Amino acid sequence: LLAHLVPIVALDDEGRAWYAIADRAAPGLTVIDDWSSFGQRTTLSGTVIIDNVKVPKTHLVPGYKGYDRPTADGAIFQIIQVAVDTGIAQAAIDETVDFVRTKSRAWIDSGVDNAWDDPYTIQAIGDLTLRLHAAQALLEKAGHAIDRAVIDPTAETVAHAQIVTAEAKILSTEIAIAATNRLFELAGTRSTLAEYNLDRHWRNARTHTLHDPVRWKYSILGKYFLNGENPPLHAWS
């Protein structure tokens, strides 16, 4: 919604994708501020209406050529999403620990005086932290794989970068949703008070993890490891 230039994807007669870069003020181009999601509210992902918009030839980019040869662009695009979800998970776990140690009360049957001594809470924090560290490790591994693919972009290095990034995307999605959900279970009813705004973590995680269906990442992994099939070259893999 804040961009001065708006990229429009169009297909030519051969079905190839082009980017038409239109000026925000171009006649026929309407940008509507109608993004009303409960999460990721400041992404400003509004609606764009295109009605006979004219774009000069100098503003046409043959997007289809971007994947004529092996490129790490798709993995780079994906690792950004992985980093966002991993960061949300980290923030949620940090908030959980802080709340449990400063505000939560021990359950009546726990036999302990402090919420942080509850054995089930201790186990849950250990489990969430372990899964977070696994996601962080794969995020770092994906970064190194992408670096190698950028330096030497072969079919093999690019596919490896895509695969490791897909693995990281799966784990980051799972821990982001788990951590933001269990925050309330472990911190207790008081954590739902609007003054703490802790639901922002769950809202952001639930919204952002829908960016591209993680179930398709499992398909990419299965095809690669079972049948030796490289992931498709585009921004979503």
CATH code of 101's domain: 1.20.140.10
116 in any annotated domain? yes
The full DSSP string for 178-191 is: HHHHHHHHHH-GGG
> Based on the domain organization, do 24 and 137 belong to the same domain?
no
- Please give the Cα distance from 168 to 172 (Å, whole number): 6
96 in any annotated domain? yes
Q: What is the pLDDT of residues 180-237, one digit of tens each?
A: 999 999 999 999 999 999 999 999 999 999 988 999 999 999 999 999 999 999 888 8
In the chain, which residues have pLDDT < 50?
Answer: none
Q: What is the pTM of this model?
A: 0.91
User: So what's the pLDDT on residue 199?
Assistant: 98
φ, ψ (nearest 5 deg) of residue 193: -60, 140
> Based on the domain organization, do 130 and 200 belong to the same domain?
yes
